[in-house]
Amino acid sequence: MSETTPPDDATTPPEGDDPPPRALWAARQGRPVYVARNERGAEVRIGSKDTEGLFSPGELLKIALATCTALSADHVLRNRLGDDFPAVVGVSSRGVEGENRYGHLDVELLLDLAALTEERRARLPERVERTSGRLCTVGRTLKAGATYDVTVTHEPLREA
């Protein structure tokens, strides 16, 4: 099976020495909608930024960074705010004029820090940034300027 088509059944273990099924794939569901899935059964609908009820690819990139940052710092936040602390993470972007890309992304964690002393409150942003900078794969990948390749493969596809 090529790397650009979904596995027949992502939950079936591979036989013999075959490589394991891909963890992620997206199948076209009409114009202009794709449904992305993983082998754990999650799915998300993706389309252009002006299509109601869908995430755009750019929004997914941004929310991946935001949630990766929050998840990476969760143990630090739990240690200081308790196991069930409320949090909201947001992300905004600035584009690069004429280049159809983001030049900068800003992640903001909204937290109730009232229970912390001023000293602990002042140290928390550096701790969150240091921890997420070390553990957030999405952020580390963006900072490193990841490259990618596109392959087009001929493979007859059956209707799902």
Q: What is the pLDDT of residues 108-148, one digit of tens each?
A: 999 999 999 999 999 999 999 999 999 999 999 999 999 99
Indicate whether 48 and 65 sit together in one domain.
no
Span 3-28, average pLDDT = 56
Task: Name the E strands within 10-138.
Answer: 24-28, 34-38, 43-46, 87-95, 102-111
- Block residue for tokens 């490259």: 147
Alpha-carbon distance 112 to 109, whole Å? 10
Q: Does 61 or 155 have the greater pLDDT score?
A: 61
Report whether pLDDT(71) > 80. yes
Indicate whether 79 and 2 sit together in one domain.
no
pLDDT tens-place string over residues 19-30: 555 679 999 998
Predicted TM-score (pTM) of this structure: 0.82
Asked whether 87 and 75 are in contact (CB, 8 A), the reply is no
Report whether pLDDT(43) > 90. yes
Percentage of the chain surpassing pLDDT 70? 85
Indicate whether 100 and 139 sit together in one domain.
yes
Asked whether 35 and 44 are in contact (CB, 8 A), the reply is yes
Indicate whether 77 and 37 sit together in one domain.
no
Question: How many separate domains does the chain show?
Answer: 2
Task: Name the E strands within the chain.
Answer: 24-28, 34-38, 43-46, 87-95, 102-111
| Residue 107 belongs to domain spanning | 57-144
Report whether pLDDT(79) > 60. yes
123: left (phi over 0), alpha (psi -120 to 50) or beta: alpha
